[in-house]
Structure 1
Amino acid sequence: MTDKDKKIISYTVFVALLFLAVLNWTTVVSFLQMAWRVALPLVIGGVLAYILNILMMRFEKIWFPKTKNQTLIKLRRPMSILLAIITILTVLVIISGIIIPQLVSVILGLIDSIPVLITAIEDWANEYSEYFPQLNGIIDALDINWSNMVRNIVNVLNNISTSLVGSTLSTVGSLFSFIVNGLLSLMIAIYVLFSKETLGAQFKRVIRIYFSESFYNKFFYVISVADESFEHFITGEVMEAFILGSMVTIGMWIFQMPYAAMIGVLTGVTALIPLIGAYLSGAIGFILIIVQSPTQAFMFLLFIIIVQQIEGNIIYPKVVGNSLGLPGLWVLIAVTIGGGVMGIPGMLIGVPLGATIYKLMKFDMNRREEKAEKTKASFLAKKNADL
């Protein structure tokens, strides 16, 4: 059988399988959904292992790098993994400890201040109603019976509690499944980190055996470019988030604005979403501050706009953009497409994925141009030799 016959058979089988998949699309989708649920702990474990690996490698460099003590050498990997996990958990606990208590107090204060705010608006409207007759309609609209409102809120809470009691078993089951999947993902991540060199060597061996040398080289070149892009993106984003959160916290503290620590931490967390993250925290901060002081809220809005200009024109290009080598237009395109396809997770992976595609295209175009130049030079040399 010739190579041409093999290709024809391969294409025929592929078209037949594709045709069967289209005819049984519902079954195929159900199977893919089931496969995704089964593979989800593996996927999360792989992502967690990749993130922990960035910290683990840095801890390994500082864990007695010049020692010859075999005990310390054997402890290098497990201690580095443990320190990486502790570091991430510590950051999450600190962020939660700063944001959640203040956010709860803000929500409770907001609920308490709504009647006062409505009353102040009514008093102001009554005072200026003779100058602005149309305010009478607004006053009537704001004539709220607070006793009835409180009674309605209590009824709503009772209904919610009843439904919560009815769905307790379902909630407990979902929580148990979440905890099990989380622990399983963490165990997978730890196992991958402990044996990453062995797994990497085995994976390379499989690719080398079952595929051509050309495919092997191209495949691992793509993997290396993607790994470089994602690692630079993660480290750059974390550094930029820390810088931006610190700037907002210190600036709000200097100008004596409320909720400086909470909004600063919130800005740092949302800054992990490229381009639009800090605007989200700015909008939330504006809403929180305007309840206490409209003047300070507009001052905060001006302050956050200035910080955004510094972040967009100085911090992000220097800390993240230069490390990725991705032009600003590509960043915008990557965030837009990633967000449209996968929401916030798509925004997070869109930029490093776009950087990977950009670098691969740039390399391929340069290679093709060099090949064309060599072909042209060879042709001209042959032509001159004939003359």
Structure 2
Amino acid sequence: MIIIGVLFFMLIFHIRKELISILSPFIWSIIFAYLLNPIVNFLETRKINRSLSILLTYLTLISIFIVIGWTIIPAIVDETKNLIHDLPYYTEQVEKFLLMIRKSTQAQLPVIFNNFIENSINSIEDSIINKIKSISYIVVNFFSGILNIVMIPVVTYYFLKDKEYFKKIMIELMPKKWRIKILEIAKDSDRVIGGFVRGKIIVAIFVGVFTALGLYLLNINYAVIIGVVTGIIDIIPYFGPVIAAIPAIIIAFFQHPIKAIWVIILFIIVQQIEGDVIGPKVIGSSVGLHPVAIIFSLLIGGTFFGVIGMILAVPVAGTVKVVGKHIVDYIATNDDNY
């Protein structure tokens, strides 16, 4: 039996790329179904047929995507072209700024340190240019994977429509001995993590839109790109806003130093509104993790999986906490029985 298990895992590892390619539409469909299910349930409580509720949700999303396609995407494309063109200028300005600081402080830094700074700046510039140019490859892959793109909404529809059917199958696959406990863990995890994830997405959209709007009113270059990136990175607690603010402040500073101050004020205002007003109302209670635990989970996620790891760190840590609590309760209950 052990040999069969080892051979099975070896086979899975050998065909992992093909397996991921096949399963990815279904994985994404499950994710989207999970995120959209509360909306469909809400419409269903208003005496709207579930199938019609799903279609209304789809129509709303399609309308939003059409608006984004007509307004935001062209602006992103134009700003991306300008950023690729202007990036060497910003690199040169950063080098001049560092040189000015070094001269003003009369610090005689070793030549090796100067070379290190220049090489680091050039490396960052090349990395940014390559990342931006990779957008074209993403677009190509987007259209080459058009079959998956068509499949995902269809499969998502059936996951939403036949939710009870799939739920029944999953329950039947669970060992009877652990079925009740697994369902309790799943329910608690959904209550703790589901609201956090959905709420965080809504908050991130607010942060991205208001940041882009604020930068646009301040006449800061690449306002839309910075707003989109800020919204995405804002999903990362604590570190996200700081990471997003740095490039905005640098770009504003080289436009005019006073603008950097206004950008800092803008980010502080947006974060205060998010933290004190919108966040508590949309997300509600947190995942119940201490800030130290959140920072620790972010460091682990970032170290092993990069930005994606940092985005997923808090939901994963919250799930681990829920599972751990149930394990402790189970052990304590068994000890009391003895």
Cα contact 1:95–1:265 (8 A) shared by 2: no
CA contact (8 A) 2:35 2:198 kept: no
Whether the aligned pair in 1 keeps the contact of 2:185 and 2:322 (CA below 8 Å) is no
Q: Distance in 1 between matches of 2:140 and 2:227?
A: 36
Name the CA shift for 1:371/1:271 in 2 (closer, same or farther; >3 Å): same
Structure-2 change in CA distance of 1:206 and 1:246 (3 Å): closer
Name the residue aligned to 1:29.
Answer: 13
- 1:203 partnered with 2:170: yes
Once the two structures are overlaid, the 10-residue window that deviates more, 314-323 or 33-42, is 314-323
**Sequence identity, in percent?**
24
TM-score, reference length from structure 2: 0.69
**1:269 to 1:88, Cα distance in 2 relative to 1, 3 A:** farther
The answer to whether the Cα contact below 8 Å between 1:252 and 1:258 also exists between their aligned partners in 2 is yes
Change (3 A) 1:95 1:270: farther
Partner of 2:156: 189
Q: Could you tell me which runs of 5 or more consecutive residues in structure 2 were left unpaired when the two chains were aligned.
A: 109-135
Letter in 1 for 2:78: P
Q: Output the CA distance in 2 between the equivalents of 1:242 and 1:176.
A: 25
Q: What are the within-5 Å matches in structure 2 for residues 250-329 of structure 1? A: 252=215, 256=218, 258-259=220-221, 261-262=223-224, 263-301=226-264, 303-304=266-267, 308=271, 320=283, 322-329=285-292
Q: Secondary structure at the match of 2:169?
A: helix
Measure, in 2, the Cα distance between the counterparts of 1:29 and 1:299: 52
Q: Which residue of 1 aligns with 2:112?
A: none
Distance 2:50 2:276 in 1: 46
Unmatched segments (≥5 aa) in structure 1: 1-12, 67-71, 135-167, 377-387
Deviation at 1:339, TM superposition (A): 3.0
State the partner residue of 1:165: none
More off after superposition, 37-46 vs 264-273: 264-273
* Distance in 2 (alpha carbons) for counterparts of 1:173 and 1:110: 24
Structure 1 residue 355: Cα displacement: 0.9
Query: Within 5 Å, which residues of 2 pair with 1:208-247?
Result: 211-212=175-176, 214-245=177-208
* Equivalent residue runs for 1:329-348 within 5 Å: 329-348=292-311
Q: Does 1:43 align with 2:27?
A: yes
Match of 2:41 among 40, 51, 57: 57
Q: Is the 8 A contact 2:83 2:222 kept in 1?
A: no
Determine helix, strand or coil for the equivalent of 2:220: coil
Superposed displacement of residue 231, structure 1? 1.8
> CA offset at residue 232 of structure 1?
0.9
Q: Secondary structure at the match of 1:322?
A: coil
Counterpart of 1:83 in structure 2 is: 59
Match of 1:274, SS?
Answer: coil
Q: 1:196 to 1:270 in 2, by over 3 A?
A: same
Please provide the CA RMSD for this pair. 4.5
Q: In structure 2, do the counterparts of structure 1 residues 279 and 87 end up closer, same or farther at CA, with 3 Å as the change threshold?
A: farther
Which residue of 78, 81, 99 corresponds with 1:101? 78
Distance 1:269 1:200, change over 3 A: same
Q: Deviations over 1:67-93 (max 9, x none)?
A: xxxxx6376334334235326625753
Distance in structure 1 (CA, Å) of the matches to 2:243 and 2:67: 21
Separation in structure 2 between the aligned mates of residue 273 and residue 172 of structure 1, nearest angstrom: 26
> What pairs up with 1:9-28 in 2 under 5 angstroms?
13-14=1-2, 16-17=3-4
The question of whether the paired residues in 2 share the 8 Å contact of 1:81 and 1:190 is answered with: no
Question: Contact 1:238–1:272 (CA<8 Å) still a contact in 2?
Answer: yes
Deviation at residue 299 of structure 1 after TM alignment: 4.5
